[in-house]
Amino acid sequence: MKSTGTLSVTNVSKKFRVNNNEIHVLDNINLSVKAGEFISIIGLSGCGKTTLLRLIVGLESDYEGDILLDGRKLNGPSLDRGIVFQDHRLFPWLTVEKNIGLGIVGKSDTEKKEIVNNHIELVGLKGFEKSYPYQLSGGMSQRAAIARSLVNQPEILLLDEPLGALDALTRMYMHKELERIWKKENITMIMVTHDVEEALYLSDKIVVMSARPGKLQKIIPVPLARPRDRASVEFAEMKEKVLEEFMLHTEPHFTYTI
């Protein structure tokens, strides 16, 4: 187990000012993530889960409370934190390999080439090095985006609904891939999603958030063995437990015995 990649969020609140109105987006969030953990944050839209992610990556600032990575306070974006956005955000004017190599700094050309090749292999895009983003499918674009975010070997990877735009089958396939990459890279991952099954399949812990203002409703550990079986009884029970938080679980039928 690596010692780097622990994250602690303490008493974090965030307000936005829109036309002189203060909007409370996050209210007193407390969360601690161990090194190498896979955490999912789920919640209805507008609950501030993306804002929380943007705070952690450093794209938003001006918040109350503390966010510490390995005990150090965050100060803007840094190469030790990578992010995969919902829309892949690959640069359309660059090929796949150039997109992936975009963020590599302080490396010689040969080293850079090797890093890019390794990551292309990691995400399974061999043969598409010279393709442009418009020639890729949604799933392939997201693979390239994942590779791009990993080139600097971040301690923590943040995923903002990375598979939200993919079709159901591709998404299930990407769950497997994401789990494989997470194990291979041995890093901390925090994923925002609104797909309960996705969260259950991948996470060690599921963080449920409630909306307006965004509050931490419950942290649900997922003690299921990996690789997880979506059809198992345990999986179904866990799913009910999570859905209960959203009042979406199936009510037990009325039964009686003599």
- Cβ burial of 112 (10 Å; 0-12, 13-18, 19+) is middle
Residues 7 and 32: beta-carbon distance below 8 Å = yes
Please identify, using beta-carbon distances, which residue of 19 and 75 lies nearer to other proteins. 75
User: Residues 92-131 vs other proteins: string with x where CB under 8 A?
Assistant: xxx-------xx-x--------------------------
Please identify, using beta-carbon distances, which residue of 1 and 105 lies nearer to other proteins. 105
Instruction: List all residues 6 or more positions away from 186 whose beta carbon is below 8 Å from its beta carbon.
Output: 2, 36
Select the span of 53-61, 62-70, 164-172, 243-251 touching other proteins (CB under 8 A): 53-61
- Alpha carbons 95 and 110: distance in angstroms, whole number: 18
Does 165 contact other proteins by CB under 8 A? no
Does 254 contact other proteins by CB under 8 A? no
Residues 48 and 25: beta-carbon distance below 8 Å = yes
Select the span of 87-95, 173-181, 226-234, 235-243 touching other proteins (CB under 8 A): 87-95
Does 78 contact other proteins by CB under 8 A? yes
* Near other proteins in 195-234, by CB under 8 A: none
Does 83 contact other proteins by CB under 8 A? yes
Does 16 contact other proteins by CB under 8 A? no
Count of H-run helices and E-run strands, the chain: 7, 10
Question: H helices within 102-195, ranges in order?
Answer: 109-122, 138-150, 168-185
Count other Cβ atoms within 10 Å, centred on residue 232: 12
Return residues touching other proteins (CB under 8 A): 57-59, 77-79, 81-83, 85, 87, 89, 91-94, 102-103, 105, 132-134, 149, 152
